[in-house]
């Protein structure tokens, strides 16, 4: 089908694991896209997915994969839009098989689904491997490792596109690489076209967090207003042959694309603007030009690139026990004083009565919590919530903490109510750098 | 710069917008002025040394400030500034998403003596 104005059109259909689906369907339907990317993996997400896979070898992929594929496959197949996603998480093969089964159930014949593997390097990294940005080596972790995933780049994805895949499913595919790969394939860019790879990586970087460039994570009422965030649209990149692009969104969708939304995303999770490292390129965003064209259209150009890093980043996830959280609220006159008293009681009880030595933090939400360590003084409030958080390898300790906070209802200050408590499994992650030769991506095509 | 009442303190939020991101135990906050004329004021007010001085318990590592002159923005990279990072922090906001507003809440160095 005609995609319009000669540019290569890429849309985002998810910018994180729990992102919205209905605007993705709207974009797939009306966006005239060549490619839709669903970026659904964070460092912790992949570790949690490994835990899921250990519990059930048929799981370990994004929990929303089935819903997303069921809604997007028919629309994207009809529109001729290729889906690229890292929703495979810790189990791309199971995700691919599930997607194939969904396509069959929906009666869509001839869907080519590529499964990219090889990012799981468990067992391949030596125990003497030093960590990337902190002291210590792999052997120091001393707790069960749940997964090790190398970041795969565009070169792992391109073979799937060359094979004519309609859907590409991988695990730890690097976020911007999922955008760069189809641009390289479409425009015939080579690994030596450093400026173009830098430009394409900029587009991927701007797009990968979905609505963070169309008005999400941006609004500050009265100062930075964003229209209709409840119906915010996902972004579209119209990419030219030199890698410059216009970032926009669907007409009629909520949100906003302007110079300010693009600037904030330009350096999101970037350290040195002149050295943004991906498996594909050392991208340079320091001289990027932005041109606000109005009507939710911003032109981006002048990213550059230098040779890609020699080594690939690997994220290692390991068991970190549980995070326990519990709270009780106080409202009305003297709420702050009563909350403070409750905090003192809990602190004493956890130490003296239960001998808990694991790290505990006690906050008064409404008075001072997020900025407590920053040293900000809390405001007087007539509505505060005691919040107690504990990390421990011992579930028994977590249960004791919840019990102790709940006991405040009868044994604590006056007027305390609304106890809630939760215990959730925790993972920790560390990173190492490995030689590229250690990582061997594979691509297998499944057909319905 | 937005107009403010006579006795109101001017803060970074009056001239700039910001976004926070995290990688491990490192937080970065990019800060952008609305009006290029305020960029010198922002640069004077938000320095690496000042961040260290204002938040000694939170920002335990090095602070690097990148200046994006032509787009009128700063990128503050604050090491060991996330209470262990998203996996280890006991802060409710373990990503430090709200750190942008820590920076936006800083008083501007307008050169006026305040009582």
A137-176, pLDDT tens digit by residue? 999 998 889 999 999 999 999 999 999 999 999 999 999 9
Q: What is the mean pLDDT of residues A82-109?
A: 98
* pLDDT value at A37 more than 60: yes
Helix (H, G, I), strand (E, B) or coil at A400: helix
Least-confidence region, from A112-116, A275-279, A425-429, B62-66: A425-429
Beta bridge mates, A235: A249
Helix (H, G, I), strand (E, B) or coil at A146: strand
Sequence-ordered strand ranges (E) for A265-310: 276-277, 282-284, 289-294, 297-301, 304-306
Tell me what percent of the residues of chain A surpass a pLDDT of 70: 99
pLDDT in tens, A388-397: 999 999 999 9
Partner-chain residue, chosen from A267, A361, A374, that has the shortest CB–CB distance to B28: A267
The pLDDT assigned to A123 comes to: 85
C-alpha A259/C-alpha A293 separation (Å) is: 9
C-alpha B39/C-alpha A261 separation (Å) is: 18
C-alpha A384/C-alpha A368 separation (Å) is: 9
C-alpha A262/C-alpha A248 separation (Å) is: 10
* Contact state of A267 with B86 under an 8 Å Cβ cutoff: no
Burial class (CB in 10 A: 0-12, 13-18, 19+), A82: buried
Q: What is the mean pLDDT of residues A275-297?
A: 98
The pLDDT assigned to A5 comes to: 65
Burial class (CB in 10 A: 0-12, 13-18, 19+), B43: middle
* pLDDT value at A4 more than 90: no
* pLDDT value at B83 more than 50: yes
The pLDDT assigned to B94 comes to: 93
Residue to mutate among B87, B89, B104, B105, with most A CBs inside 10 A, is: B87
Q: Which residues of chain B are within 8 Å of residue A267 when distances are taken between CB atoms?
A: 19, 21, 28, 30, 68, 73, 75
Position A43 confidence tier, pLDDT thresholds 50, 70, 90: confident
Partner-chain residue, chosen from B71, B83, B98, that has the shortest CB–CB distance to A290: B71
pLDDT in tens, A430-447: 999 999 999 999 999 999
**Edge-to-edge strand list for the sheet holding B26-33:** B16-23, B26-33, B73-78, B63-68
* Contact state of A269 with B70 under an 8 Å Cβ cutoff: no
Q: What is the mean pLDDT of residues A342-351?
A: 96
Q: What is the mean pLDDT of residues B30-46?
A: 98
C-alpha A24/C-alpha A36 separation (Å) is: 9
Q: CB of A60 within 8 A of CB of A89? A: yes
- A residues 346..375 contacting B (CB < 8 A): 359-361, 363, 365, 369-375
Q: What is the mean pLDDT of residues B1-28?
A: 84
pLDDT in tens, A347-388: 999 999 899 999 999 999 999 999 999 987 777 789 999 999
Q: CB of B95 within 8 A of CB of B81? A: no
Burial class (CB in 10 A: 0-12, 13-18, 19+), A188: exposed
C-alpha A372/C-alpha A49 separation (Å) is: 32
CA separation, residue A8 to residues A38, A69, A239, A395 (Å): 17, 23, 5, 52
């Amino acid at each position: 089908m005609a995609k319009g104005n000669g540019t290569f059109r890429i849309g985002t259909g998810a910018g994180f694991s729990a992102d919205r689906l209905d605007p993705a369907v709207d974009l797939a339907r009306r966006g005239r896209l060549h490619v839709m990317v669903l970026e659904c993996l964070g460092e912790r997400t992949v570790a949690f997915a490994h835990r899921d896979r250990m519990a059930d070898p048929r799981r370990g992929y994004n929990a929303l994969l089935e819903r997303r594929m069921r809604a997007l496959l028919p629309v994207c197949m009809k529109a001729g839009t290729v889906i690229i996603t890292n929703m495979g998480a810790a189990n791309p093969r199971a995700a691919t098989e599930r997607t194939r089964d969904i396509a069959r159930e929906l009666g869509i014949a001839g869907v080519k689904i590529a499964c990219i593997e090889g990012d799981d390097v468990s067992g391949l990294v030596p125990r003497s491997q030093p960590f990337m940005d902190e002291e210590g080596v792999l052997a120091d972790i001393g707790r069960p490792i749940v997964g090790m995933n190398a970041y795969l780049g565009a070169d792992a994805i391109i073979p799937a596109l060359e094979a004519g895949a309609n859907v590409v499913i991988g695990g730890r595919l690097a976020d911007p690489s999922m955008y760069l790969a189809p641009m390289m394939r479409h425009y015939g860019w080579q690994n030596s076209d450093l400026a173009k790879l830098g430009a394409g990586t900029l587009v991927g970087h701007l797009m990968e967090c979905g609505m963070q460039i169309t008005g999400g994570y941006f609004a500050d009422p009265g100062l930075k207003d964003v229209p209709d965030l409840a119906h915010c649209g996902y972004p579209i990149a119209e990419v030219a042959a030199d890698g410059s692009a216009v970032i926009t969104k669907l007409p009629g969708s909520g949100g906003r694309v302007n110079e300010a939304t693009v600037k904030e995303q330009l350096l999101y999770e970037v350290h040195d603007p002149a050295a943004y490292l991906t498996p594909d390129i050392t991208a340079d965003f320091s001289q990027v030009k932005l041109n606000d064209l109005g009507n939710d259209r911003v032109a981006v150009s002048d990213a550059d690139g230098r040779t890609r890093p020699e080594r690939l980043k690997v994220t290692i996830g390991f068991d970190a026990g549980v995070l326990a959280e519990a709270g009780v609220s106080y409202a009305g006159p003297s709420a702050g004083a009563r909350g403070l008293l409750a905090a003192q009681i809990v602190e004493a009880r956890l130490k003296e009565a239960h001998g808990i030595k694991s790290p505990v933090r006690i906050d008064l939400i409404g008075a001072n919590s997020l900025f407590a360590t920053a040293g900000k003084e809390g405001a007087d409030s007539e509505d505060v919530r005691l919040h107690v958080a504990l990390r421990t390898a011992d579930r028994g300790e977590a249960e004791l903490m919840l019990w102790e906070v709940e006991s405040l209802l009868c044994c604590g200050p006056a007027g305390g109510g609304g106890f809630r408590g939760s215990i959730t499994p925790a993972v920790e992650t560390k990173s190492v750098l490995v030689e590229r030769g250690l990582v061997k991506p594979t691509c297998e095509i499944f057909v319905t | 710069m937005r107009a403010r009442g006579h006795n109101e303190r001017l803060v970074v939020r009056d001239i700039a917008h910001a976004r926070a991101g995290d990688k491990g135990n490192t937080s970065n906050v990019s800060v952008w002025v609305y009006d290029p004329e305020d960029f010198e004021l922002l640069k004077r007010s938000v320095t690496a040394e000042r961040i260290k001085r204002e938040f000694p318990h939170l920002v335990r590592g090095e602070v690097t400030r990148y200046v994006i002159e032509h787009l009128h923005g700063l990128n503050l990279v604050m090491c060991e500034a996330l209470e262990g990072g998203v996996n280890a922090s006991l802060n409710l906001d373990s990503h430090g998403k709200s750190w942008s507003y820590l920076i936006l809440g800083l008083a501007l160095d307008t050169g006026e003596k305040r009582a």
